[in-house]
Amino acid sequence: MFCNAHDGLMLSLYLLLCFAFQVLADSPWIDYPADGTATMTHYTIPDGFVAACGCNGDSTKYPTAAMSQMAYGSSNAFGPACGKCFNLTLLNSYTGSPPFLPSVVKSIVIKVTDLCPLSEAGWCSGTKTKKNPSGQFINFDLAYPSRAIPDDFFPSNESYYGYKDFGVWNITYQTVDCLKHWAGGRTPAALGSVTNLGNESVCCPANPTGNLNDTCPSYSDHNRLPPDTMTSYARMLAIPSTLVIIFVVAHLFQLE
Ligand SMILES: *[C@@H]1O[C@H](CO)[C@@H](O)[C@H](O)[C@H]1NC(C)=O
Ligand SMILES: *[C@@H]1O[C@H](CO)[C@@H](O)[C@H](O)[C@H]1NC(C)=O
Ligand SMILES: *[C@@H]1O[C@H](CO)[C@@H](O)[C@H](O)[C@H]1NC(C)=O
Ligand SMILES: *[C@@H]1O[C@H](CO)[C@@H](O)[C@H](O)[C@H]1NC(C)=O
Ligand SMILES: *[C@@H]1O[C@H](CO)[C@@H](O)[C@H](O)[C@H]1NC(C)=O
């Protein structure tokens, strides 16, 4: 049997595995499914702003959002959600009375560039065991108004409710490929993280897939350095591509 340790080495390996599983099980972060339900709020960030993940300022030219802390995966700086893209679809708003059910289906693909701090009672208060006030574990805080999003993105019925902005929406989310579906996915200047803050406090992969080399660790847990996501846009202009090829080839042989 797997747990039948025959010698010291096996026993050590076994204990190590048990420890690893224990650490995973004890993780405070929400292990959410790729697709699900959540809430959406909105907040303002200045044009060109470098938010918690350290993504390049030009990311703000495209739709971005902050994710609630316990799903974001860190209480500080970058987390595993940094750079991830989600297709967010508005279902209804329930802050109005009666709840508002739009007659149109509105969706938007965002890239996560920021952290929505955990609070006691707000929309970003969801934890592994506690839902936010509308019964969801996850909240996406959309950067809006934004030059990337039409001003009439949120459906409304002003003549009936007397106001346009419901503030919070019931939504569904789907994890999507950033390069294919995010509006900034083909714009090098909008991808990656800034260089001037060093590599230990920024991490903004172009398209995180969950692999160690393209997904940020939790900054809070200090478990490892992030993959290098500093934008190579400027660096590539400075280094002739033949040199890059020579370096790569030399590196390959060195590994043999
Ligand atoms: C986003 O979701 C909407 C509604 O389900 C769907 O029509 C649209 O195709 C989706 N977009 C992507 C890129 O998955
Ligand atoms: C606004 O809401 C009222 C009451 O539900 C409804 O009669 C009206 O058709 C709505 N108007 C629009 C533009 O949705
Ligand atoms: C959110 O939408 C789902 C699907 O339509 C619905 O079952 C649920 O009651 C809604 N939640 C709220 C708080 O409106
Ligand atoms: C990460 O590793 C996988 C498998 O080794 C590779 O296919 C992929 O290109 C790597 N991604 C990055 C961003 O380095
Ligand atoms: C990040 O910085 C550390 C210390 O400054 C350095 O040792 C490491 O090589 C850097 N890693 C990358 C991927 O640039």
Domains of the chain, by residue range, sit at: 26-255
Alpha-carbon distance of 144 to 123, in angstroms, equals 16
**Residue 215 confidence (pLDDT):** 96
Give me the pLDDT at residue 125, please: 97
Please give the pLDDT value at position 233. Answer: 63
**Cα separation of 101 and 139, whole Å?**
19
* Main-chain dihedrals φ then ψ at residue 26, nearest 5 degrees: -85, -5
pLDDT at 4: 38
Question: Most distant CA pair in the chain: distance in Å?
Answer: 76
pLDDT at 231: 79
Cβ burial 106-138 (10 Å sphere, 16+ → b, else e): bebbbbbbbbbebeeebbbbbbeeeebebebbb
Q: pTM surpassing 0.75?
A: yes
Fold of the CATH domain 26-255: Barwin-like endoglucanases (2.40.40)
Q: What span, in angstroms and rounded, lies between the C-alpha atoms of 149 and 163?
A: 20
Q: What pLDDT, on the 0 to 100 scale, is given for residue 17?
A: 46
Predicted local distance difference test score (pLDDT) of residue 199 = 82
Q: Where are the alpha helices (DSSP H) in the chain?
A: 8-26, 69-72, 158-161, 178-181, 233-238, 241-255
Considering every ligand atom shown, identify the ligand nearest to the alpha carbon of residue 205 and give its number: 4
- Ligand nearest to the Cα of 203, by number: 5
Q: Do 102 and 92 form a contact (C-beta atoms < 8 A)?
A: yes
Q: Which residues of the chain have pLDDT under 50?
A: 1-11, 13-23, 234-235, 237-256
Ligand 5 near 228 CB (within 6 A): yes
Burial (CB count <10 Å: 0-12, 13-18, 19+), residue 9? exposed
Mutational test site, ligand 3, from 92, 172, 173, max ligand atoms within 8 Å of CB: 92
Distance 63 CA to ligand 1 centre (A): 15
Residue ID of nearest Cα to ligand 5 atom 2: 199
Q: Which of 66, 214, 239 is nearest to 139 (CA)?
A: 66
Residue bearing the CA closest to ligand 1, atom 7: 107
157 pocket-lining for ligand 2 (C-beta < 6 Å): yes
Interacting residues of 244 by C-beta distance below 8 A, sequence separation 6+? 236
Q: What is the pLDDT of residue 114?
A: 98
Instruction: Give the three-state DSSP class for 111.
Output: strand
Handedness of CA 96, 100, 104, 109 (dihedral sign): positive
Identify the residue whose C-alpha is closest to ligand 5 atom 8: 199
State how far the Cα of 28 lies from the Cα of 20, in Å rounded to an integer: 14
The atom of ligand 3 lying closest to the CA of 135 is 13
Cα of 22 from ligand 1 centre, angstroms: 37
CA-nearest residue for atom 13, ligand 3, is 134
CA of 87 to the centre of ligand 1 (A): 6
pLDDT given at position 21: 46
| 174 C-beta closer than 6 A to ligand 1 | yes
